[in-house]
Amino acid sequence: MSGVCSRRAADGLIAGGRVEVNGELIRELGSRVDPKNDDVRFDGNRIQPERPVYVLFNKPAGIVCTNARNEQKKRVIDFLPQVRGRLFTVGRLDLDSEGLILLTNDGSFALEMTHPRYGVPKLYAVLVRGRIEQQELDKARGGVWLAEGPTTGMNIKVERTGKDKTYMKVTLREGKNREIRRVFAKLEHPVISLKRIRIGDLNLHGLSPGAWRFLQPHEVQRLRDVALQADRPMHDDDSGEN
């Protein structure tokens, strides 16, 4: 939370005798501190928790979500040079996908937004090849077996069908890696385009591709409130836009 290192790396720094709390060298892992009142130092320098930052970004296609410094493609974080301190994406959208993604430096918030047990709904506009039959929709809604196990199912609202295309709104509360693309590929309806248009009750309004804004405190709290309602059942008609 101070931007010094990861939690895993912190264990090594503590064991190496590089951390002091209130003037005392600490080597015991799991020692508890009060970040507001205790004097915590790394290599003699006092550290302070970063101010929590929450950003909503409209990712264009062709942009990657990694923070790797040696990445050749443009990264999401490259669009936010004005935001000081470390920042990471909350989950991912793959290279060819676009739409809303959150960024933060708050690990607890990121966990609440991504862990399956919290089930924050995310709405996608999806275009697939071919006309999808009812039995195929039933399979996608009920769950499809992927390499890492079965999906928990998705809520689907067919918007319209063309001669060889189907336009849908798909809602996920839990997302495996590239889940929508993989599920429909398995049903022999490959995804042509995929755009995330809502996270909780946040939408694309006012954000052109490549644009971003800070979340307001009440927006962060609403997302967290949704995460606390993980046991609330969801129905297909939940996926419509406001």
Query: Which residues participate in catalysis according to the annotation?
Result: 94
DSSP state of 38: S
Q: State both tokens at 132.
A: 């999808």
Q: Are 109 and 216 in contact (CB under 8 A)?
A: no
- Residue from 136, 108, 140 nearest 224 by CA: 108
What is the sign, positive or negative, of the torsion defined by CA atoms of 16, 21, 26, 29?
negative
The residue written with tokens 């909350």 in the block is: 90
* Total residues found in the chain within this entry: 242
**Eight-state DSSP code of residue 173:** S
> What are the structure tokens assigned to 131, written together?
């006309």
Structure-derived torsion over alpha carbons of residues 84, 87, 89, 95, reported in degrees to the nearest 10: 70
Question: For residues 157 and 239, is the Cβ–Cβ distance under 8 A?
Answer: yes
Q: At what angle do helices 217-227 and 107-114 cross, to 10 degrees?
A: 50
User: Cα separation of 160 and 165, whole Å?
Assistant: 9
Closest CA to 130 of 208, 49, 191: 191
